[in-house]
Structure 1
Amino acid sequence: MNTHHSPWVLAAALLLALPATAQQSPAAPAMARAAAPAPAGLYQALGEKPGIARLMDDFVDRAVQDPRIGAHFKDTKPAALKESLTDQICQISGGPCQYEGADMKSAHADMDITKGHFNALVEVLQAAMHAQGIPFAQQNRLLALLAPMHRDIITQR
């Protein structure tokens, strides 16, 4: 585990703790409005949609098994969650996908997510990115896009 990340990078990945049911919401997705524009080439650096799908497969598998955060995924439909996350990361990284899930505030409202859960999730995401061979600089580029969403995700202050 690389511990040289600044706090804003650690704040970035809580977005990925999507609702356990991974169901779509009729609410307009606020995700696209919240994220900064994707850095040029990030989608390609992540391996385009196939690479992002592999990353999200690895990430979800790790998250549901992690003793610190696995309980948040007890009602998860892993395949649906992986698909939703793939579309979300594809879209925010500059790819052609369209995320149609719930906005982050609604999605996490009843999940009792603490800063500790958030940090654990970031560690899981970083481990998955490392395992998938995503270079550190590209990891930080992705996490920086996710960072603004942490305010809507941590529900226990």
Structure 2
Amino acid sequence: MKKIVPMLCAVALAACAAAPQKPVVQKDALYLSLGGQAGIDRLAEATVRELLNDLRINLFFANGSMAESRRLLAEQLCAISGGPCTYTGRSMEEAHSGMYLVDADFDAFMQDFAAAMNAVTVPADAQRRLTALFEAMRPQIVGQ
């Protein structure tokens, strides 16, 4: 019995060493790939610029402060990308309540966001990840 316990321990250690390890993903990797806060600020600015020039949806921004929209978008981008920010705005449901947005409105936003990401040269992988994060918010925005 005394020989079995050390042997089982050795087998268990060998199995652990041989098991494939999951890659360690840094929590703020997306934030860093966006260029940190400076990159996020550039992206938020470019996005607001695209939205204001988009006749399909710019009316939704007519009554608000664009500086406030830019600030909240930068906070949201920073927070969802793993950066050190906390989003202080209203929930997506609250922020879009009574706007009765449809999928075409959301799609227009996403097209403008994609154009902004291209304009500030966000890497393709980061673009895919950000697009997925915003797409996950669609149910909280459309139809509110």
TM-score calculated relative to the size of structure 2: 0.78
Separation (CA, whole Å) in 1 of partners of 2:100 and 2:61: 12
Q: How does 1:5-154 map to 2 (within 5 A)?
A: 41-154=29-142
* Distance change in 2, residues 1:47/1:132 (3 Å): same
> In terms of Rg, which structure is larger?
2
Higher relative contact order (CA 8 A, sep 6+): 1
Pairs aligned (count): 120
Q: Which moved more, 1:120-129 or 1:138-147?
A: 138-147
Q: Which runs of 5+ in 1 are unaligned?
A: 1-37
On the 8 A contact 1:39/1:141 being kept in 2, the answer is: no
In 2: Cα distance, 1:114 partner to 1:145 partner: 18
Q: SS of the counterpart of 1:88?
A: helix
* Cα contact 2:28–2:83 (8 A) shared by 1: no
Question: How far is the alpha carbon of 1:39 from its aligned partner?
Answer: 6.1
Q: CA deviation at 1:72?
A: 0.6
Give 1:130's aligned amino acid.
N
SS class of match (2:99) = coil
- Matched to 1:152, the amino acid is Q
RMSD: 1.8
C-alpha deviation, 1:92, in angstroms? 0.7
Q: Using a 3 Å threshold, how does the CA distance of structure 1 residues 39 and 116 change in structure 2: closer, same or farther?
A: farther
* AA partner of residue 79 (structure 2): Q
Query: Larger helix proportion, structure 1 or 2?
Result: 2
* Letter in structure 2 aligned against 1:109: S
Unaligned 5+ runs, structure 2 = 1-25
- The one-letter amino acid of 1:135's match is P
With over 3 angstroms needed to count, the CA separation of the structure-2 counterparts of 1:39 and 1:125, relative to structure 1, is farther
Alignment check: 8 A CA contact 1:113 1:154 kept? yes
SS in 2 for 1:110: coil
Aligned in 2, Cα 1:51/1:70: closer, same or farther, shift over 3 Å?
same
